[in-house]
Amino acid sequence: MTLLRKPWIWAWIAAIVVYAATIAATAGASAAGLAQAAFTFAAFSVIVGLGQMFVITLGPGNVDLSIPATMTLAGTVSLKLMDTADAMALPGLAVALGIGAGVGFANYALIKALRIPPIIATLALSFVVQSAAIWTNRGLRIKPPETLAAFSTGNLWGIPNLAIVASLLTLAAWVLLERSAWGRRVTAIGQSLPAARRAGIAVHGVRLSAYVLCATLAGLCGFLLSCFSGGAALNMGAEYLLISIAVVVIGGSSVAGGNSNVPGIWGAALFLFLVVSMLNTYGFGAGPRMILTGLIIIAVILAASLRGPASRGM
């Protein structure tokens, strides 16, 4: 029963229910294939979701809207640099991560120096980053090196490699959030920035590192996604703006900051992928499919509130 009180359990329950409903449509024939697909694609959502979670934990108004543009720029530039040469795989990865970190620095520089709300700063910067991505090669789609393509689409004992990468990152994020002093500080800042400052936390350093971490993960995700899907496209990150926020909040982290959890991100990422699959499988048209997606999201959050601890009240 205490499990039912965990904020993240509802995303997992929803994912499992939706999964069962989908394979029911084919009398179980699709179970393994669907699970594999779900874990593969959830991996991307998880990677950006983890970064977004640390940023959202920083408190109201903190959200990184530059994730899609960062993914695109990191994907385009690194693929262009590697130019299908296997030997360039590591430099390519380094460049993707470097671009992410750079965007993260720039994000926080704007937030700090100009004192503009993060939501606006990251949005504004994302336009600039997107332009840079267009400028670098005008959207030409270069193929990834053979080994990287094989790795990103491959499996290990039936588990998608990407899911393994995302799981390792999840574990690291969990340790960081729940066990490390840095995670404590991020959480403290999210509850009250002035109180955290007076408690002696180096608030700017911590916030900066959260933004850099988030953008770096976005860069990594862009790199993996473009290797996975055979090249970087200018609009390849677009979907991940909403997804990165949705997996965090559906996963049971508080949108007001200061109270986040990691397991929910996986549950929510699987859920978001599976819900679309389910509705596609049942043959819903675009309109009803979107309506049902929305209603199911609300139902999940409602169910969580009926059983979980009351979130209001001082």
Ligand X SMILES: Nc1ncnc2c1ncn2[C@@H]1O[C@H](COP(=O)(O)OP(=O)(O)OP(=O)(O)O)[C@@H](O)[C@H]1O
**Contact residues for ligand X, defined by CB under 6 A:** 233, 235
Between residue 237 and residue 276, which ones bind another protein under the rule CB under 8 A?
Answer: 238-239, 242, 245-246, 249-250, 254-256, 258-259, 273-274, 276
The C-alpha atoms of residue 277 and residue 181 are separated, in whole angstroms, by: 40
C-beta separation of 133 from 69 below 8 A: yes
Q: Which of 101, 153, 165, 174 binds another protein (CB under 8 A)?
A: 153
State in angstroms the smallest separation of the CB of 263 from another protein: 17
Tokens of 283: 């043959």
88: which DSSP letter? Answer: G
Q: By CB under 8 A, is residue 302 in contact with another protein?
A: yes
State in angstroms the smallest separation of the CB of 238 from ligand X: 8
Give the pairing type, strands 155-156 and 159-160. Answer: antiparallel
State in angstroms the smallest separation of the CB of 173 from another protein: 14
Find which of another protein, ligand X, none residue 276 binds, CB within 5 to 8 Å per kind: another protein
Q: Which of 144, 125, 106, 114 is nearest to 66 (CA)?
A: 125
> Nearest-CB residue to ligand X?
233
**From 17-25, 46-54, 86-94, 163-171, span contacting another protein (CB under 8 A):** 17-25
Q: By CB under 8 A, is residue 124 in contact with another protein?
A: yes
- In three-state secondary structure terms, 222 is helix
Find which of ligand X, another protein, none residue 167 binds, CB within 5 to 8 Å per kind: none
Q: Which of 236, 247, 265, 270 binds another protein (CB under 8 A)?
A: 236
Give 235 or 280: the residue with its C-beta nearer to ligand X: 235
Element (H, E) at 156: strand 155-156
Q: Which of 40, 78, 107, 161 binds another protein (CB under 8 A)?
A: 40
Q: Which of 241, 237, 232, 235 is nearest to 77 (CA)?
A: 232
Beta-carbon contacts of 197 under 8 Å, excluding residues fewer than 6 positions away, are 203
Site size with another protein, rule: CB under 8 A:
119
State in angstroms the smallest separation of the CB of 136 from ligand X: 15
Beta-carbon contacts of 116 under 8 Å, excluding residues fewer than 6 positions away, are 110, 124
